[in-house]
Copies of this chain bind each other. A is one copy, B any other.
Amino acid sequence: MINKLVSEIKKKSAPVVVGLDPMLSYLPEDILNKAIKEHGESLEAAAEAIWQFNKGIVDAIYELIPAVKPQIAMYEQFGVPGVMAFKKTVDYCKSKGLVVIGDIKRGDIGSTSTAYAVGHIGKVSVGSKSFYGFDEDFVTVNPYLGTDGVKPFVDVCKEEKRGIFVLVKTSNPSSGEFQDQLVDGKPLYELVGKKVASWGEEAMGDDYSYVGAVVGATYPEMGEVLRKIMPKTYILVPGYGAQGGKASDLKPYFNADGLGAIVNSSRGIICAYKNEKYAKYGAAGYAEASRAATIDMIEDINSAIL
């Protein structure tokens, strides 16, 4: 799947992933009201509304981008109906040819990590048959528990030719509290980055590994160091746009071949209609606004890295 991700990035000239992280406050009122009319004020209404919202955006942008990254927390908050909307979103995006990165940040140990891995990027056996549970192409993984926690995901990656992105340096202000602590004179995130590179060696695609890394756009000097530590690792870069990361900061995350990184924007795209720049589309044109914002983002990033 890393090969497909790379070839789609090349084909569409877009090292960009759109985060499908819908909050109810992002939705045009009409969408929520319609769902409430059908389902009453309920978790089911919220789930139906975010699914309809997603579908509109995906239909408007799927031809432009290689991948989407639904953030499962935004669905889990609505309980079981929310999780059903997550699954529907994953399936729909795949039917449109998009690579789906489930932003689930799971991490546990041994058989428990295996359960997450088979449930999200692999298949589980029931009797004589086997089934894909959530069926994403990639998921994000938390490394705090060490190799025992990550290895079961890597094993499933190899078997399924799907992938993971391991959190190395996150984009948030307090990410340094633990991640930047010096260990033998080097920050912890470098140690994690080295582990990611070594876990990835045993799960190589053509040019890049099935084991990727998350490195926030808000720390370009760290991105530069990590790029060198993990030359064969695809880097998923959150924090562009709403979180403050600028296109001009992104070059260090890419390799000389113009590959090796994929930049995420969530709010900046799916909420574009609330941004003055795209206000002319109005709430009813939220999907077209997200399309315009996607085109602008691709141009912005390509201009900075090429």
Contact = CB atoms under 8 A, between A and B. Distances in A.
Given A78-B124, A143-B144, A177-B147, A73 B172 contact: no
A258 interface: no
A234 interface: no
A252 interface: no
A152 to B, nearest CB: 10
A206 B210 CA distance: 49
Nearest to A125: B24
Contacts of A184: 182
Interface string A70-110: 01011011111011100100000000000000000111111
Interface residues of A, number: 74
A282 interface: no
A77 B115 contact: yes
A144 B168 CA distance: 9
Contacts of A23: 111, 115
Interface in A17-41: 21, 23-24, 32, 36, 41
A182 B190 CA distance: 14
Interface in A184-235: 184, 188, 191-192, 195
Nearest to A24: B126
A188 B173 CA distance: 19
B119 A79 contact: yes
A172 B118 CA distance: 20
Copies of this chain held together in the complex: 2
B119 A76 contact: yes
Given A73-B108, A148-B172, A78 B133 contact: yes
Contacts of A115: 23, 71, 73-74, 76-77
Interface stretch (A42-50, A57-65, A284-292, A297-305): A42-50
A178 B191 CA distance: 8
A105 to B, nearest CB: 6
A175 B188 contact: no
A86 to B, nearest CB: 9
A170 interface: yes
Contact of A41 (B32, B126, B181, B195): B126
Given A76-B134, A79-B135, A147-B177, 5 more contacts: A43-B131, A78-B131, A79-B133, A143-B178, A148-B174
24 contacts: A24-B125, A41-B127, A42-B129, A42-B131, A45-B126, A45-B127, A71-B112, A71-B115, A76-B116, A76-B133, A77-B119, A78-B119, A78-B133, A79-B132, A80-B87, A82-B133, A145-B170, A145-B174, A146-B179, A148-B172, A149-B174, A181-B181, A182-B183, A183-B183
